Amino acid sequence: MEKFFKLLPVLLVLAVAVAWLFPLAALGTRFGWWQFQTAFALLGGAALSAAILLALSGVGILLAIARNNDKAKHRAALIAAVVLLPLGVVFYFGVKAGQVPQIHDISTDQQNPPAFNALLAQRPASANPLNYTPEIAALQAKAYPQIQPLFMAAPLGDVVSRVAQVAETLGWQVVSVDAANGIVEATDTSFWFGFVDDVAVRLTLVDGKTRVDVRSVSRVGRSDIGKNAQRIEAFLQHMAASGT
């Protein structure tokens, strides 16, 4: 038992190293050190290691309580605290992934989603296809019924300017503004992994109002874990707040 207590400082160092591996794996993808598949493999290994360390810390706490060893108990508790946060983040996203459909293409217009033009040249050959199928539409309608077009009373030309302004406010990189056709294209890059998602905003006149349709597509991954729907909702909320 005393030998186990002597291992706790080593386990603490390992716990800190494992905890740092979580952000390192993600940032490595963003900075181009490795592909996202490698990052996910690293995260899987880090999660397994963190789970083992958490179990060992639990054993350490129980043994320390039995031996009335406060120093060992505190060390074991610190190990648990270090690994619990990254484990909690992985668990959260794991649960979230199971709650949403495995789709990565979301549009306010499920019959005729906005098309991409300027961004086509920027999308790598390995990017997800842009074929928005009836199957995707059905899954989206069930999971995100709130994703609907926005109608604004402002003239189309004014709305185009607002679209570009809101996009920049949200941190998107505006790639193209086609005022004549009412099309704005932009990209949104995630902080941790550097995942690039493509966004197209299409404006059309309907019964004297400007209809705003948005499409958001992830370049990689089968599931976006709800990110594209969240992005569209945030954009439309900002647009609505800017005036109708």
Q: Please write the tens of the pLDDT for every residue from 10-66.
A: 999 999 999 999 999 999 999 999 999 999 999 999 999 999 999 999 999 999 999
- Specify the pLDDT at position 242: 82
Question: In sequence order, what are the beta bridge partners of 239?
Answer: none
Average pLDDT for 85-99: 90
Instruction: Decide: helix, strand or coil at residue 152.
Output: strand
Q: Quickly tell me which residue has 């083992």 as its tokens.
A: 52
Q: Please write the tens of the pLDDT for every residue from 215-240.
A: 999 999 999 999 999 999 999 999 99
- Pair 117, 62 in one domain: no
**Domain end point (choices 99, 133, 160):** 99
- Pair 166, 185 in one domain: yes
- Specify the pLDDT at position 71: 94
For residue 96, pLDDT beyond 90 = no
60 lies in which domain range? 2-99
**Domain end point (choices 81, 99, 117):** 99
- Pair 52, 153 in one domain: no
DSSP tag of 111: S
- Pair 34, 149 in one domain: no
**Total tally of structural domains belonging to the chain:** 2
Q: Residue 176: in which H helix or E strand, if any?
A: strand 173-178
CB 114 within 8 A of CB 201: yes
- Specify the pLDDT at position 244: 54
**Domain end point (choices 70, 99, 128):** 99
Q: Whole-model pTM?
A: 0.88
Give me the CATH number covering residue 135.
3.30.310.80
- Pair 94, 156 in one domain: no
Residue type, 13: V
Q: How far is 72 from 66, CA to CA, in rounded Å?
A: 11
For residue 161, pLDDT beyond 70 = yes
Q: What is the CA radius of gyration of the chain?
A: 24
- Specify the pLDDT at position 176: 97
